[in-house]
Amino acid sequence: MLKSRVGYSIRNYWEVTKPKIWYLLVFTAFASAIIASNISGVDADIIIWILLLISVTAGSAGANTVSSYIDRDIDAIMERTRHRPIPSKRIDARHALYYGSILIAIALVTSAMINLYALMLMAFGIFDYVVVYSKLLKRRSRANIVLGGFSGGMPALIGYVSITLANIEVGVMLALLVFLWIPMHIWSLALRFKGDYYNANIPMLPVVNSVSTSTRVIAATTLLMVVFSITLTYTGYFGYIYLTVAVVIGAIVAVMSIQLLWKPDEDKAWRLFKFSSPYLAVLFIAMIVDLLL
């Protein structure tokens, strides 16, 4: 009985960190570190790789947990989120806040052990997500996901600077790629659950704008992201393998966004959202394969 209660508690504390979000962020950090190592020829100590994994995992999970604490009232209203650990009373809200704060502290300490740049970027990313996005903008401005989106690009840049500062423009471009990916990812989700956001009075793009305007913006930001992903080949570090993958999957996601624009419906928005995560992961994998081969 005790074992089952402990397991239940662990699952709840795992769930409150929103692992589906931080899995991808941790992957972009680790992939960027591999890219940095291959471009610069720096063979970082295994301790750096371990610290990177711990810091980005703890930072992303901690920021998500504190954000869940901040959003506990609106999460209880929205059908999509009302079963999360805090609104469903599976975790006490204060305990979640303490837990998230401890994870953030771990992230700051471990990133400081990597280098000062990793620490500054980690602190900025957490501040941008928790304070700028969750606390200040999410309930007030349609620009919430844009200004709060800088946090999403930080893990990729943290991964890069953890290895080297050489050719830092590549690391910046990797972070920008994630930043440009975020609007398509979040706004397609918001379009799918427009009613939820409306009921919670969250001014996401599809709530404060018409469906036609929203789909035009989603299509435009998607095409911008695809074009930017292709321009990464002009850094001179990624060749035909990456270019081929970027063009092919970029064409797929562009077609999906245009289909959504042409005939908007919730199913198309949901498919675009579901495809967006593997799309980003495949791009980073293609970069690594291109460099290795």
In this structure, what CATH number is given to the domain that contains residue 77? 1.10.357.140
In a shared domain, residues 206 and 230: yes
**Residue 3's pLDDT band (cuts 50, 70, 90):** low
The last residue of one of the domains, among 166, 186, 208, is 166
In a shared domain, residues 72 and 216: no
5, pLDDT greater than 90: no
Q: What dihedral angle (degrees, nearest 10) is formed by the CA atoms of 126, 132, 138, 143?
A: -120
The whole-number average pLDDT for the span 110-131 is 98
- The domain in which residue 200 lies consists of 168-293
pLDDT value of position 89: 94
The last residue of one of the domains, among 120, 149, 166, is 166
7, pLDDT greater than 90: no
**Spatial distance between the Cα atoms of 257 and 184, rounded to a whole number of angstroms:** 9
Mean predicted lDDT score pLDDT of the chain: 95
**Residue 142's pLDDT band (cuts 50, 70, 90):** confident
pLDDT value of position 235: 87
36, pLDDT greater than 60: yes
Q: What dihedral angle (degrees, nearest 10) is formed by the CA atoms of 113, 115, 117, 122?
A: -20
In a shared domain, residues 20 and 161: yes
The last residue of one of the domains, among 111, 132, 166, is 166
pLDDT tens readout for residues 68-94: 999 999 999 999 999 999 999 999 999
In a shared domain, residues 106 and 228: no
In a shared domain, residues 108 and 134: yes
pLDDT value of position 41: 93
pLDDT tens readout for residues 235-244: 899 999 999 9
The whole-number average pLDDT for the span 135-142 is 93
In a shared domain, residues 176 and 161: no
In a shared domain, residues 216 and 265: yes
Number of domains making up the chain? 2
Three-point CA angle 130, 202, 84, nearest 5°: 65
The whole-number average pLDDT for the span 143-167 is 96
201: left (phi over 0), alpha (psi -120 to 50) or beta: left
In a shared domain, residues 143 and 50: yes
In a shared domain, residues 100 and 239: no
4, pLDDT greater than 80: no
Nearest to 65 by CA among 23, 103, 16: 16
**Spatial distance between the Cα atoms of 94 and 97, rounded to a whole number of angstroms:** 5
In a shared domain, residues 157 and 44: yes
In a shared domain, residues 86 and 181: no
The whole-number average pLDDT for the span 98-124 is 98
pLDDT value of position 52: 98
Quick one: tokens of 59? Answer: 């930072």
pLDDT value of position 9: 86
In a shared domain, residues 100 and 191: no
1, pLDDT greater than 70: no
